[in-house]
Structure 1
């Protein structure tokens, strides 16, 4: 029997997976260095959600501080967001 683990919330401490907060909206990040994490999009406008986000991580192609780009797909604008590549 395997133990089920909940997805980690982006921006939480690595040792603390965090828990989704009631009343918040999350999208799952797929692919790239943040694969499987949840991103809180509660405060984003519809335009910001369409644009996606550059997120900071220590595991990008460019090392600590690199920014992987994640965004929605045209076929599924409400999520999950897919990895589009890394920028320095």
Structure 2
């Protein structure tokens, strides 16, 4: 299993021992970029389905263009709060 396969269905920022989604939470799928396939917990964020669009997020990652400490930028798709598209990396 390669790294991308391993990461699919895992929750961004979750402990490796508890990286699966929880039934009482709402998630958006990260699409594209280094975090492609991970789930972002949006339970307490604007942008949950049926609510106003969410805000873009800068997620810390070690596997982006800028290595450890860099961030990958994701923004919700218009009219689809269940997917956040990658918009590049930043230091």
**What band does the TM-score fall into relative to the shorter chain?**
0.7 to 0.9
- SS class of match (1:78): strand
- TM, length-normalised to structure 1: 0.78
Which residue in the other structure is 1:71 paired with? 75
- Gaps of at least 5 residues in structure 2 are 1-5
Moved over 4 A (4+): 46-49
- SS class of match (1:62): coil
- SS class of match (2:72): strand
RMSD after superposition: 2.5
Q: How many positions carry a matched residue from both structures?
A: 83
Which residue in the other structure is 1:39 paired with? 40
**Given that residues 45 and 54 in structure 2 are in contact (C-alpha distance below 8 angstroms), is that contact kept between their aligned partners in structure 1?**
no
- Gaps of at least 5 residues in structure 1 are none
**Given that residues 9 and 37 in structure 1 are in contact (C-alpha distance below 8 angstroms), is that contact kept between their aligned partners in structure 2?**
yes
1:82 counterpart = 2:85: yes
Q: Which has more strand, going by share of residues?
A: 2
